């Protein structure tokens, strides 16, 4: 293997420790315990698992978590009333509405009902708008792309000559949660960004010209190892479970990149799992701490 491994697990553990130290400090200095409310609608098993992991990691960092498990058929009005209560609750510094929501709910309307000061996912249209504007900064950066940016900064330390600014970057996927905010963050960091999607022509040609490649499509191993530019920094957000009777657990996780071939060619690459996944939760904890700092600065106390 010639590539450096971007070890998200190790970087996330470091960030979680920094958040824990800052939380201890905040409790001692201000008597404030940061609080995260996790709102889960329905019984999607993947969403249940993500919310559980988020709450466990909050507990480890000394952040209080408030769970709201709501029935799949909750009305828009009732859901927005719960969010209004959380907006007003001084113990809550961050509100996370796990996506996707059931089809009958208007997701944009729900995200818009969150207090800007508690929008720890950074999905409120005003925060996304600020991300897109020159000279403006959002209060919160969406956790997954934020984690990818931190891994790219790690790569600047690990890979000789690699700098985000001035790079050609390809972002594969244009979702509201990952692809679109990722490309906006890279533009802010002075990269030149190509957004690749299902209608893009000549994807191999774009990858060959890219110093940074972010995979966020969820198409297992679609991006072939030989397409990558030598020395490129590659971050794979996709995590797809594939049945494999020969594997100890009967399945394996795959990302968008053909990892085994890519790692012989590129400068740095994140593994799946153990790359971006742990970073997402670490950045959510960091955002919740920031929510508590905003409340303290405004003189709000529980
Ligand atoms: N669903 C998939 N990713 C995310 C995320 O980062 N936050 C929320 N709230 N829902 C998600």
pLDDT value of residue 203: 98
Ligand 1 centroid vs 148 CA: distance in angstroms?
15
pLDDT value of residue 178: 98
User: Is residue 302's pLDDT more than 90?
Assistant: no
Residue 19 lies in a domain: no
Mean pLDDT, rounded, for 225-229 = 98
Share of the chain above pLDDT 90, in %: 99
Looking at the fold, whether 95 and 188 belong to one and the same domain comes out as no
68/82 Cα distance (integer angstroms): 9
Looking at the fold, whether 119 and 59 belong to one and the same domain comes out as yes
List the catalytic residues.
54, 98, 121
Looking at the structure of the chain, the number of domains it has is 2
Mean pLDDT, rounded, for 39-47 = 97
Looking at the fold, whether 149 and 247 belong to one and the same domain comes out as yes
Distances (CA, A) of 89 to 26, 36, 68, 213, 216: 19, 11, 14, 41, 35
Residue 15 lies in a domain: no
User: Is residue 234's pLDDT more than 70?
Assistant: yes
Ligand 1 centroid vs 176 CA: distance in angstroms?
10
pLDDT, tens digit, 9 for 90 and up, residues 81-114? 999 999 999 999 999 999 999 999 999 999 999 9
Domain range for 109 is 30-125
Mean pLDDT, rounded, for 62-87 = 98
Model-level pTM?
Answer: 0.97
pLDDT, tens digit, 9 for 90 and up, residues 141-198? 999 999 999 999 999 999 999 999 999 999 999 999 999 999 999 999 999 999 999 9
User: Is residue 1's pLDDT more than 80?
Assistant: no
Task: Report the nearest atom of ligand 1 relative to the CA of 142.
Answer: 6
Candidate of 121, 122, 123 to mutate for ligand 1, largest count of ligand atoms within 8 Å of Cβ: 121
Please give the mean pLDDT across all residues of the chain: 97
CATH of residue 268's domain is 3.40.50.720
Is any ligand 1 atom within 6 A of the Cβ of residue 97? Answer: yes
DSSP string, the chain: --SEE--HHHHHHHHHHHHHHHHHHHHHHH----EEEEEEES--HHHHHHHHHHHHHHHHTT-EEEEEEE-TT--HHHHHHHHHHHHH-TT--EEEE-SSPPTTS-HHHHHHTS-GGG-TT--SHHHHHHHHSTT---SS--HHHHHHHHHHHHHHHHSTT--STT-EEEEE---TTTHHHHHHHHHHTT-EEEEE-TT-S-HHHHHHT-SEEEE-S--TT-B-GGGSPTT-EEEE---EEEE-TTSTTSEEEE-SB-HHHHTTTSSEE--SSSSHHHHHHHHHHHHHHHHHHHHHHTT---
């Amino acid at each position: 293997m010639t590539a450096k491994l971007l070890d998200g697990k190790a970087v996330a553990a470091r960030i979680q420790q920094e958040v824990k130290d800052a939380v201890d400090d905040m409790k001692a200095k201000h008597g404030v315990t940061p609080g995260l409310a996790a709102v889960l609608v329905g019984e999607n098993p993947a969403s249940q698992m993500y919310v559980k992991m988020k709450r466990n990691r909050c507990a480890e960092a000394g952040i209080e978590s408030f769970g709201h498990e709501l029935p799949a058929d909750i009305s828009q009005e009732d859901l927005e009333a719960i969010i209004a209560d959380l907006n007003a609750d001084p113990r809550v510094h961050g509100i996370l509405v796990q996506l996707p929501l059931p089809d009958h709910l208007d997701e944009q309307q729900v995200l818009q009902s969150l207090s800007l000061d508690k929008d720890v996912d950074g999905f409120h249209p005003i925060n996304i708008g600020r991300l897109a504007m020159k000279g403006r900064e959002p209060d919160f950066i969406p956790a997954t792309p934020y984690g990818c940016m931190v891994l790219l900064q790690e790569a600047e330390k690990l890979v000789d000559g690699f700098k985000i600014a001035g790079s050609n970057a390809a972002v594969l996927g244009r979702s509201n949660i990952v692809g679109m905010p990722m490309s906006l963050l890279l533009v802010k960091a002075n990269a030149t960004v190509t957004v690749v999607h299902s209608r893009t022509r000549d994807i191999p040609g774009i990858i060959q010209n890219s110093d940074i490649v972010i995979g966020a499509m969820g198409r297992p191993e679609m991006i072939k190892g030989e397409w990558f530019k030598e020395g490129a920094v590659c971050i794979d957000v996709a995590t797809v479970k594939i049945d494999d009777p020969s594997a100890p657990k009967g399945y394996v996780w795959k990302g968008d990149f053909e990892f085994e071939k890519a790692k012989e060619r590129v400068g740095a690459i994140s593994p799946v799992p153990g790359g971006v996944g742990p970073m997402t939760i670490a950045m959510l904890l960091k955002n919740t701490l920031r929510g508590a700092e905003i409340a303290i600065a405004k003189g709000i106390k529980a």
